[in-house]
């Protein structure tokens, strides 16, 4: 009997240790990609030949006063966070003079990878694709298959009317990466295939605000809410009436204070789809593109069940879908045609070529929003977005309730300047002050749309993660080069 008791006791200890390690692993998964972010304000400053970029590190001292330190770079390199010499100081974030290709640099606690984008003359490119052999020299490629590209890491320009499949080795072997986006990107290329995107153009006299409203309406998506969804979208006004806007002590930013514990009791967290609004932005970008980004706000995000525990809940949730249009001039007439749809899902970038998207009436792309967590996907069914050793996370989508954003009263429409980081209401919509970037002044824009995180040592209640930032802090709006980026929270 004593032997059995000892074995039983040892087994319990082992199980507790395994459970503790599992919880630590899960915490790492959820914390990674959400702590240190580069906010790409001023991303129009790019490097010219012979110039260097500057990373400005910000620290917050024990007395609350910020201090700064600079690191210069002139090429792609890994930067190590300097050791702090003062007690009580912690690292707050990075500011950049110069452009990072991904527009958002996500770091662990110690390092970040700097990728400077050099100023190139893209006006000389007349083909579908240009692969740069150094900062300024390039080889052009038309649509077709290329079994051998004599380069490793390369900067690439891809015209918006084309989609591209890249292989890490020659003869279309090795790791395959389907590239459905346009503009500038970097990668390893052994071989590649380039083909045209099939879509119809819409002719315009000029790109006025009135025409932008028409385009936002023409390409507005249908969003399918899951048949088991409980936490729907709402208007910003509906949410704000149930929350308190206050000046936060951390970083002098605004947040919407909703709850001070992980016990969810307010009915407003279920949203109100009948009066909900989508917030649609028309954003002119480099390389003759016009991005149409459709955002919605849900008062609550339901997390995932892992090992019987609930992780990833948070008050406030911004999600979006974007459609990229390419400007063309034919016979002296201006036209725009759709080439890419981007589905925002957590930290995933889901770029899909326009001719591979299911549509209504030929212009309205269909999107599915995941049950509870609202990640946006092209198709219904189960979608894996974390497939780690200790856990697999899935989004589930189905055709429950249809939300057609092109119908009257479902959208607010805006024009947004990606270089000046300013917006204006167009059509019958008025600009929302909460979407401004002056978040450090009384009555300024809103940075955090919900409560701060809450994580009890003993899992009595579900873990409560920190709330997301608003549309004006997403790369879809404030980056002049890309349609979207990873890790947009």
**pLDDT at res. 291:** 95
Q: Kindly indicate the confidence band of residue 97, based on its pLDDT and cuts at 50, 70 and 90.
A: very low
Q: Name the pairing type of β-strands 364-369 and 376-377.
A: antiparallel
CA angle (443 as vertex; 438, 444 as ends), nearest 5 = 15
Q: Kindly indicate the confidence band of residue 80, based on its pLDDT and cuts at 50, 70 and 90.
A: low
Q: Rounded to whole angstroms, how far apart are CA atoms 305 and 422?
A: 40
Q: Rounded to whole angstroms, how far apart are CA atoms 55 and 380?
A: 42
Pick from 260-274, 376-390, 475-489: least confident: 475-489
Question: Which residue would you say has higher pLDDT here, 394 or 251?
Answer: 394
Instruction: For residue range 139-197, list pLDDT tens digits in order.
Output: 999 999 999 987 666 778 888 888 888 888 899 988 777 676 666 777 788 899 999 99
Instruction: For residue range 187-240, list pLDDT tens digits in order.
Output: 788 899 999 999 999 999 899 999 999 999 999 999 999 999 999 999 999 998
Report the percentage of the chain scoring pLDDT > 70.
Answer: 63
Enter the pTM of the model.
0.75
Fold category of 122-196 in CATH: Gamma-B Crystallin; domain 1 (2.60.20)
Listed by start position, the domains of the chain span 1-31, 36-114, 122-196, 202-478
Q: Tokens 């149930």, residue?
A: 242
CB atoms within 10 A of CB 319: 25
Q: Rounded to whole angstroms, how far apart are CA atoms 381 and 75?
A: 43
For residue 266, pLDDT over 50 is answered with: yes
Q: Kindly indicate the confidence band of residue 67, based on its pLDDT and cuts at 50, 70 and 90.
A: low
For residue 311, pLDDT over 90 is answered with: no
**pLDDT at res. 303:** 73
Q: Taking residues 400-404, what's their average pLDDT?
A: 97
- The most confident of the ranges 84-98, 290-304, 435-449 is 290-304
């Amino acid at each position: 009997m004593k032997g059995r008791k000892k074995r039983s006791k040892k087994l319990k200890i082992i199980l507790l240790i395994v459970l503790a390690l599992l919880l630590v692993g899960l915490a790492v998964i959820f914390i990674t990609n959400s702590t240190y972010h580069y906010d790409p304000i001023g991303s129009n400053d790019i490097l010219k030949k012979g110039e260097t970029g500057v990373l400005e590190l910000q620290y917050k001292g024990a007395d609350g006063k910020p201090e700064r330190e600079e690191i210069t770079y002139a090429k792609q390199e890994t930067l190590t966070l300097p050791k702090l010499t003062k007690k009580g100081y912690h690292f707050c974030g990075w500011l950049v003079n110069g452009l990072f290709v991904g527009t958002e640099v996500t770091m662990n606690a110690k390092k970040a990878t700097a990728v400077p984008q050099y100023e190139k003359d893209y006006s000389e490119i007349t083909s579908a694709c240009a692969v740069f052999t150094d900062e300024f020299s390039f080889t052009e490629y038309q649509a077709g298959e290329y079994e051998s590209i004599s380069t490793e890491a390369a900067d690439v320009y891809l015209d918006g009317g084309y989609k591209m499949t890249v292989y890490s080795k020659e003869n279309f072997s090795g790791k395959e990466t389907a590239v459905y986006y346009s503009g500038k990107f970097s990668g390893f290329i052994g071989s590649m295939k380039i083909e045209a995107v099939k879509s119809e153009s819409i002719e315009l006299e000029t790109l006025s605000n009135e025409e932008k409203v028409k385009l936002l309406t023409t390409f507005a998506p249908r969003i399918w809410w899951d048949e088991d969804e409980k936490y729907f979208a709402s208007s910003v006004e509906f949410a704000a009436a149930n929350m308190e806007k206050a000046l936060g002590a951390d970083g002098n930013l605004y947040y919407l204070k909703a709850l001070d514990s992980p016990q969810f009791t307010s009915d407003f967290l279920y949203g109100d789809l009948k009066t909900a609004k989508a917030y649609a932005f028309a954003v002119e970008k480099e390389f003759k593109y016009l991005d149409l980004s459709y955002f919605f706000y849900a008062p609550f995000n339901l997390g995932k069940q892992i090992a019987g525990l609930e992780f990833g809940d948070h008050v406030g949730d911004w999600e979006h879908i974007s459609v990229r249009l390419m400007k063309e001039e034919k016979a002296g007439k201006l036209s725009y045609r759709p080439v890419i749809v981007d589905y925002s899902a957590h930290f995933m970038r889901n770029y899909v070529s326009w001719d591979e998207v299911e549509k209504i009436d030929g212009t309205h792309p269909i999107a599915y929003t995941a049950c509870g967590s609202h990640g946006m996907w092209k198709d219904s069914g189960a979608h894996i977005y974390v497939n780690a050793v200790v856990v697999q996370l899935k989004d589930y989508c189905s055709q429950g309730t249809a939300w057609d954003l092109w119908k009257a009263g479902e959208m607010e429409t805006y024009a947004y300047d990606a270089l000046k980081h300013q917006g204006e209401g167009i059509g019958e919509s008025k600009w929302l002050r909460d979407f401004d970037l002056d978040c450090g002044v009384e009555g300024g824009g809103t940075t955090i749309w919900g409560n701060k995180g809450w994580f009890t040592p003993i899992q009595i209640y579900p873990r409560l993660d920190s709330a997301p930032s608003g549309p004006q802090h997403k790369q879809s709006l404030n980056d002049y080069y890309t349609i979207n980026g990873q890790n947009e929270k």
